[in-house]
Amino acid sequence: MTTIVSSNNSPDTQAKSPSLFADASQRLENALQYVSISEDAIERLRYPRASLAVSIPVRMDNGSLKIFTGYRVRYDDTRGPGKGGVRYHPSVTLDEVQSLAFWMTFKCALLDLPFGGAKGGIIVNPKELSKAELERLSRGYINEIADFIGENVDILAPDVYTNATIMGWMMDRYSTIKRQIIRGVVTGKPLTLGGSKGRDTATSTGAFYVIQSILPKFKINPQQTTVAIQGFGNAGATLAELLFQAGYKVVAVSDSKGGIYAPRGLDIPSIRQHKNSNKEIKAVYCRDSVCDIVEHQTITNQELLTLDVDVLIPAALENQITTENAKDVKAKYIFEVANGPVNSAADKILLEQNIQVIPDILVNAGGVTVSYFEWVQNRNGFYWTLEEVNQKLKAKMEVETQQVWEIAQKLQLDMRTAAYVHGLNRLGEAMGAKGTRDYYSNSRDR
């Protein structure tokens, strides 16, 4: 069954119990003094537009029935249909999904995509499910949220522990319910079902373009740059490989079980191979086609965050750098590939330490940008080459990175506040263009 949850989950109502959403909203409040948009628009942006909680009945392989809880939140759709991934994780909460949908809103505006922000999640450890159970769960989720989504309403995509296969099942189930093939309701699908070339690597490729645009501004040269990456999934592992190929010295990587650190540098392609075959990370260094296991330390995910490296890339989950460890961070640059890895209190500490944080809503926006390309291709029924996709992605990431940089320079802001200013200006403009008559109040009508 489906429940519409109160959308009145504003920072105010959550102030009594500190939440991820209250913390995320702080970034909006910090940017407000640098923009001139209407009070109405600001008030609207403080609240998610709609939040849905569903119970998903799944027949397990042993014959029992298990009920899973899922969410979908549409935060804002002023600039277009809601857009955002679906996360499968045991620690998913409504508060987290609302925060992720909030970030999607600003991310899509920042990249000037014709989308609003949305996100979904299911409380589940997918590693404990068989493939058949996972498929029934994914199809069941769509059964419950079908009236809440649509290719012109709210469009799904992959996120943590979801992938192209799951997106294919979801699109197929939605099409079955609607009695027509509707490819554009989900992006990140398998190529054979209308996926876009380059979507699987888009988040990391986009992040790579941002890194390559920002570091030269600080006269940083890849060959002398050490990098630590937390999270070795879709986003982290591919980015590690791109940086490795470009000559950066990737000295530490980790997954949910922990990581490895080798000051000599790691051979990322070999580590990916090991991970794919052995399901664990081993420290490997290869030169001239000869590989050996290098001297390395195993480290915890927390230790990785405070390594003495030039560049730190959190690419796993939110709230990794907080007041607990921010003062111990030694990296000079943090590129946030994960959503929300640094909380707002930690931002202040990092700023005092002169550490440059390049924010999630810019760094990881390559994923949703290629999702947009996929949606466009689905609507046109005409598909692009990988070169076309990457060329368009590169152009978009570089233009918006430069704009955020210029706002930061002009207003003397950190990159995160500058990114919110950029997104807010676009959101405010769209809200202004729509007018406020739908709010059924004449007090501010002009």
As measured in angstroms, the least distance from the Cβ of 187 to ligand AKG is: 5
d(CA 290, CA 208): 27
**Beta carbon nearer to ligand AKG, 34 or 383:** 383
d(CA 140, CA 213): 42
Task: Tell me whether residue 371 is annotated as binding.
Answer: yes
d(CA 175, CA 162): 19
- Given ligand AKG, ligand NAI, none, residue 126, with its beta carbon under 5 to 8 Å by kind, binds none
Question: Which residues, 184 to 203, sit near ligand NAI by CB under 6 A?
Answer: 203
Give the 3-state secondary structure of residue 4. strand
Binding mask 150-169 for ligand NAI (x = CB under 6 A): --------xxxx--------
- Given ligand AKG, ligand NAI, none, residue 243, with its beta carbon under 5 to 8 Å by kind, binds none
Note whether 425 binds ligand NAI by CB under 6 A. no
d(CA 9, CA 49): 10
As measured in angstroms, the least distance from the Cβ of 337 to ligand NAI is: 5
Give the 3-state secondary structure of residue 184. helix
- Given ligand AKG, ligand NAI, none, residue 239, with its beta carbon under 5 to 8 Å by kind, binds none
Task: Tell me whether residue 152 is annotated as binding.
Answer: no
User: In the annotation, is 119 catalytic?
Assistant: yes
d(CA 355, CA 336): 13
Task: Tell me whether residue 203 is annotated as binding.
Answer: yes
As measured in angstroms, the least distance from the Cβ of 178 to ligand NAI is: 25
As measured in angstroms, the least distance from the Cβ of 261 to ligand AKG is: 28
Q: In this chain, which of 198, 233, 359, 423 binds ligand NAI, going by CB under 6 A?
A: 233
Note whether 121 binds ligand NAI by CB under 6 A. no
Q: Which of 47, 65, 46 is nearest to 56 (CA)?
A: 65
Question: Which residues, 1 to 40, sit near ligand NAI by CB under 6 A?
Answer: none
Question: Which residues, 272 to 311, sit near ligand NAI by CB under 6 A?
Answer: 301
Chain centroid to CA 107: how far?
9
Nearest residue to ligand NAI on Cβ basis: 233
Contacts of 208 (CB under 8 A, 6+ apart): 239, 242, 243, 246
Task: Tell me whether residue 238 is annotated as binding.
Answer: no
Q: How many residues bind ligand NAI (CB under 6 A)?
A: 24
Q: Are 197 and 222 in contact (CB under 8 A)?
A: no
DSSP string, 284-307: EEEETTEEEEPP-EEE-HHHHHTS
Tell me which residues touch ligand AKG (CB under 6 A): 83-85, 107, 157, 159, 187-188, 339, 364, 367-368, 371
Note whether 343 binds ligand NAI by CB under 6 A. no
d(CA 221, CA 219): 6
Q: Could you identify the residue written with the tokens 């000559």?
A: 247
Q: Which of 259, 256, 258, 281 is nearest to 271 (CA)?
A: 281
d(CA 101, CA 386): 28
End-to-end alpha carbon distance in the chain: 43
Task: Tell me whether residue 83 is annotated as binding.
Answer: yes
Which residues are documented as binding site for NAD(+)?
A: 203, 234
| Active-site residue list | 119
Annotated binding site for substrate: 83, 107, 371
Binding site for ligand NAI (CB under 6 A): 158-161, 203, 230-236, 254-256, 301, 315-317, 337-339, 364, 367
